Structure 1
Amino acid sequence: MLLAIDSSTQTVGIALFDGSQVIGEIIWQTRSHHTVELSPAIEELFKKCGINYSQLKGLAVAAGPGSFTSLRIGFAIVKGLALSLHIPAVAIPTLDILVAAQPLRDIPMYALLQSGRNRYAIGKYHHQAKGWVPEGDIVIKKIDEISELATSPTMLCGELLTDDRHFLLKNNKNFILASPVQSLRRPSYLAYLAWRKLKSGKLEDVRFLSPTYIHIANPIL
């Protein structure tokens, strides 16, 4: 059994996955109350699914980018559980969770999430036989800068504000926007990606797991 925790942004999610099916999943919007909401939500999920901590064989956490404080809370819980239960834990990039839910197409794709002050953290992906593969660095951009990225048909998924979604649809017809449902980060995808990573034997030292933070000074895509 694997417990996955995504606390990257105000969209928070947890899931239990046994390698064959999603046992339970909870997703909610928080008003920056990660500290007081996350642990009780985990207890609620365990109770509803009839699972106890002794059944856990692995843990997963969304690595970011995301909010500095919220990421730290997720990492603290996962690292604490991993060390106390003596089980492995892996970190998966937050944008990889988003793209895992998208259909495979032979065109480029951008994934993004809100980064505060009307900016987005955005990363580019391309399609290979094994799925979506990241291309280049994750950077911070405003919506008018994002609108200039697509010069040919290009998919885009993630936490777009309503006005920004309308702006892109109006100003760049090359963008193919994922629906709000497809753009929801589901912790079950995090669990699935982490399960595959654990089974591959690519384990990390839990003590050195750390979030990914993106700064304005990053290079441009």
Structure 2
Amino acid sequence: MRNPAPFLLALDTSTHWVSFALYDGANLLCEHTWRSNDYHTVELAPMVNQALQRLGLTARQLTCVAVAIGPGSFTGLRVGIALAKGLVLGGRMALVGVPSLDILAAAQPPLDLPMIATLRAGRSRFALRRYGWDGEAWQAQDEYQILTLEQLAEMVDRPTWLCGEFDARERQALSAHPHIRLAAAWLCLRRAGRLAELGWARWQAGQVADPASLAPIYLHYHEPIPS
């Protein structure tokens, strides 16, 4: 008897933008991305179940779940990670955690420029990380930071590719910066299809997580001390 075909479910609830995808290692079977008004808890699981039904699958046929682990919204991250852990513990499948900014970085084109990937971290602040292209992929260059938009703009002192979730006012301000090369909006959306590919590669490499210990990446902003 042949082994059943492997299927991976990818979940990203890092911010208001929610995304999930189903992947078989060769093809993206479905992907759904939408902006949620803090309804992650009531929207995500039913939509995943509907997608599985359309494909004639059940949750028990999943062999791996890849989930975005942050940084990002405290509440949003908990929803995705809780669903991933529930599926894994109930179905004896593998669990893979992928940092949310790595998902965004992986979607960017190869460039001979440093890159900063960002996502919203609440209260007009942004989580960010620097990346560099090594000839094959974008690699993280430093630790996570959490800054305001003004602080982010001030730190860019040379031509730099910037990607992330920005509203119209923020995009206008950043576009006027002499050193910022702002990615197009479609490149700034984290898609679970990309997470699925990253998660699959980690799973195949044996980089699986323990459901009992997998935790989200939370960042805390510290107000600058007046001089």
Stretches of structure 1 that go unaligned for 5 or more consecutive residues are: none
- The alignment's TM-score, normalised by the length of structure 1, stands at 0.95
TM-score under structure 2 normalisation? 0.92
Matched, 1:216 2:189: no
Residue 120 of structure 1, CA deviation: 0.8
> Secondary structure of 1:32's match?
coil
Q: Which residue of 2 aligns with 1:44?
A: 50
Find the counterpart in structure 1 of residue 141 from structure 2.
135
Among candidates 172, 180, 203, match of residue 175 of structure 1:
180
8 A Cα contact 1:139 1:218, kept in partner: no
- For residues 1-221 of structure 1, the aligned pairs below 5 Å read 1-170=7-176, 172-217=177-222
1:55 and 1:176 map into 2 onto residues whose CA distance is: 43
Aligned-partner residue type, residue 44 of structure 2: L
* Structure 1 segments (4+ residues) deviating >4 Å: none
Q: CA deviation at 1:129?
A: 2.7
CA distance in 2: counterparts of 1:50 and 1:179, whole angstroms:
36
**Partner deviation per Cα, 1:95-117 (whole Å, 9 max, x = no partner):** 01101110011210001111222
Q: How many Å separate the matches in 1 of 2:189 and 2:167?
A: 13
Quick check: 143-152 or 6-15, which moved more?
143-152
What root-mean-square deviation, in Å, do the aligned CA atoms of Structure 1 and Structure 2 show?
A: 1.4
Asked if 1 retains the 8 angstrom alpha-carbon contact of 2:97 and 2:208, the reply is no
1:217 is displaced (CA, Å) by: 3.2
Q: Does the 8 A contact of 1:82 with 1:206 survive in 2?
A: yes
Contact 1:140/1:218 (8 A) holds in 2: no
Q: 1:14-52: CA deviations, max 9, x gaps?
A: 100000010000111111011111111111111222222
Q: Distance in 2 between matches of 1:61 and 1:13?
A: 10
- Aligned-residue offset at 1:207: 1.3
In the aligned structure 2, how far is the partner of 1:49 from the partner of 1:86?
21
Letter in 2 for 1:148: E
- State how far apart, in whole Å, the 1-side matches of 2:82 and 2:123 are: 26
Where 2:186 maps in the other structure, the secondary structure is coil
